[in-house]
Amino acid sequence: MNAFKLRCIELRKKDHTLAEIVRITGRPKTSVYFHIQNLFLSESKRQDIRTAYARRAREIAAKRRGLSIRKFRPFSNWDRNTVSLVSHFLFDGEIKRGGCYYHNRNTSLIEKIEAGMRKIYNFKPKRYKNLATGVQRICYFNVPFSAHVKERADDLLRRVTTMPRALKREFLKAFFDDEGCIDFRPYKNIRRVRGYQKDVSILSIVKVLLEDMGIASNIKQPNEIVISGKSHLIRFQKEIDFSPGVRVNGKRSNSIWKRHLEKRVILSRAIRSYK
């Protein structure tokens, strides 16, 4: 029996793996395997190997977690598009670990989000629609993108009150397009713009931004901001207004219009109704 074969057998009996014997002897794997193929590792050694493989797999998974082949263009500076996008995700959307989602019944707003996203993201969203309500939902599933948007959303809420007027306007327009309505009931002499948000701190930010534009408002508990009075509604219409295509749902049981009217049209009617 030659020396190399004896050396392989000796090392195997000491519970060395194939890779370890190859490294020690400096000989090819096939040559080593030929001499030890019928000599098996101990159960304790095999368990050590299984444990090491499992640990390595967890380490690889941890390193890959949060990575995505769907690249996006991060942004640090704010412009009208990024303020609008992040605001919409804050108001009528969701920023979750797995992605960013936006849902709305108004097709014009869905299209606005998609157009804005194309400037920073190269992939189309997944689409869902509730046939009963007509609400559409677009989802951008991307963990690092969502983390980036969450970071930018926090920054936006901290800084928006000190941003240029055009960016403040984008924030307010997104808020009222998503969360706002025009309450016009001439038979009760009611004319007001209302906005809803469960996070009262956001209502406080909205109130400050409205004041910057000369628009008075009141926060009403638990989660509503209200603009009323002819001069303030006119000012709201001039500075912010509702976007084209943003309509009330005329099919709601409590709808007083019984048809899909644009909110900006109803606002104009409310202002014209003042005597």
Cα–Cα distance for residue pair 176/183, rounded to 1 Å: 13
Indicate the DSSP class of residue 238. H
How does pLDDT run across 226-260, given as a tens digit for each residue? 999 999 999 999 999 999 999 987 666 666 766 78
How much is the pLDDT for 236?
A: 98
How much is the pLDDT for 250?
A: 66
Cα–Cα distance for residue pair 27/193, rounded to 1 Å: 82
CATH class of domain segment(s) 80-163 = alpha beta
Task: Tell whether the model's pLDDT for residue 179 goes beyond 90.
Answer: yes
Cα–Cα distance for residue pair 140/192, rounded to 1 Å: 35
On whether the 173-272 domain is CATH 3.40.50.1820, my answer is: no
How much is the pLDDT for 121?
A: 93
Domain with CATH 3.10.28.10 in the chain: 80-163, 173-272
Listed as own residue / partner, the contacts of 232-235 with beta carbons closer than 8 Å and 24 or more positions apart are: 233/191, 233/192, 233/193, 233/267, 233/270, 233/271, 234/271
How much is the pLDDT for 35?
A: 86
Task: Tell whether the model's pLDDT for residue 94 goes beyond 90.
Answer: yes
How much is the pLDDT for 182?
A: 95
How much is the pLDDT for 146?
A: 94
- Stated as kind and residue range, the H or E segment containing 218 is strand 218-220
Task: Tell whether the model's pLDDT for residue 170 goes beyond 90.
Answer: yes
> Quick one: what percent of the chain has pLDDT higher than 90?
64
How does pLDDT run across 45-92, given as a tens digit for each residue? 888 888 888 787 776 665 555 545 567 889 999 999 999 999 999 999
Nearest alpha-carbon partner for 89 in 145, 130, 38? 145
Return the sign of the alpha-carbon dihedral for residues 172, 177, 179, 181.
Answer: positive
How much is the pLDDT for 70?
A: 66
How much is the pLDDT for 254?
A: 64
How much is the pLDDT for 61?
A: 60
Instruction: Work out the pLDDT band at 211, boundaries 50, 70, 90.
Output: very high
What three-state secondary structure class fits 221?
coil
How does pLDDT run across 136-162, given as a tens digit for each residue? 999 999 999 999 999 999 999 999 999
Query: Would strands 218-220 and 224-228 be described as parallel, antiparallel, or unpaired?
Result: antiparallel
Cα–Cα distance for residue pair 204/120, rounded to 1 Å: 30
How much is the pLDDT for 138?
A: 97
Which residue type, as a one-letter code, is found at position 237? Q
